[in-house]
Amino acid sequence: MEGEAPRNFGLKPDELPDAVPDFMAARFGVANAVLHPRAAEWMERDMAMSELAVALGRLQAIQQGREIGTPQARAIGMNTDAFQDALVDTIRRVVATRYNRTNEHRAIAADIRARDFREIQFPQIEATADLKALGESAEIRHTVNLETRAGESASIGTIAAMLTLSRQLIINDDIAAIESMFNQLAAVAAGREAEAVFSVLENNPTLADGAAMFSAGAGNLLTSSALSLSTLGEAVALLRRQQTLSGEVANNIPAALVVPAEQEVSAMQLVAQLSNDRPPLRVISSPWVAATRWYVTAAPDLAPVVGLILLRDADTAVSINRGPRRIQNDGIPVKVRSDYGATPLGRIGAVRAEA
């Protein structure tokens, strides 16, 4: 028993749902603004994760009417649902924070939600109206038509990994190592997702109508056009003059300038020359765009060209959950999964330029 009286750092059973998650999140710097009083007390005394495990283990022992030493209490506490759920939920927040700092690709992709992993069809649909001048007392006739054409199809795929947070990491209270591990995973997941989105543009896929996404005939391709103020103006003009399915002028407002990593700084300098009277083009740099290629795109919610498919209830593509407990694992298993898909949606809303 190591010569010490059983103690559980003041933890009471009714505090488990709030105090434990709040404390764990605070230790990783992702807590809510207001902490549960017990969690705030623990933070004030700089309590470690391993001490939280001891508190949980001893609370369980007290409820069972027995006394246990620190090593046994720590082992029991680390295996409680309260400890593992709080840790995994905190890691989920850490990953979401890191992911949201590396998801520039979502600025050019329409947000599409899927119920499950089955293939989804994306028909091209356009409502058209023959708007005419109306004389005094004239009748308004029903002239709205719904234009529908075959579109693309795609589904969600999954990449996954299982990690184990070792007993040593927790006993050593190695917050930095755990954060680093999952920050790197979040960056990799966001990178895979971004690669899928930019690859749709770069691969210039054949769409359902049998023609390439980008072509001179479609009015969305510039050749021999290194990025400059002049060629940017040409690309914007093409974007504005694109025609809808019914032959109307789309007049898409340019929202983003997508460039390869080699042109990021020069693109930022170029955009800085433009007038401040209107929202500026957002420069999005990608290592998955060829060094001599660039794009101007409209807002994806208005003129979607690429779609990013996520599961319906997901905040991000990355999900973090507790893994299955195994006797041979001396630690806490964590399952990391990323469910996403990228698909072409059309050609109206982007212009491609090549030097």
Domain edges within the chain: 13-79, 153-354
84 vs 320: CA distance, rounded Å: 12
On the CB side of 216, CA atoms within 13 Å amount to 4
Give mean pLDDT, residues 135-156.
60
pTM of the model: 0.83
Report whether pLDDT(145) > 60: no
Please give the pLDDT value at position 32. Answer: 83
Please give the pLDDT value at position 231. Answer: 97
61 vs 302: CA distance, rounded Å: 59
Q: Are 332 and 165 in contact (CB under 8 A)?
A: yes
Q: Pick from 125, 110, 191, 117: which is nearest to 154 by CA? A: 117
Give mean pLDDT, residues 56-80.
91
213 vs 205: CA distance, rounded Å: 6
What are the pLDDT digits (tens) for 240-252?
Answer: 999 988 788 999 9
Q: Look up tokens 């895979």; give the residue.
A: 192
Instruction: Tell me the percentage of the chain whose pLDDT exceeds 70.
Output: 87
Predicted confidence band at 326 (pLDDT cuts at 50, 70, 90)?
Answer: low
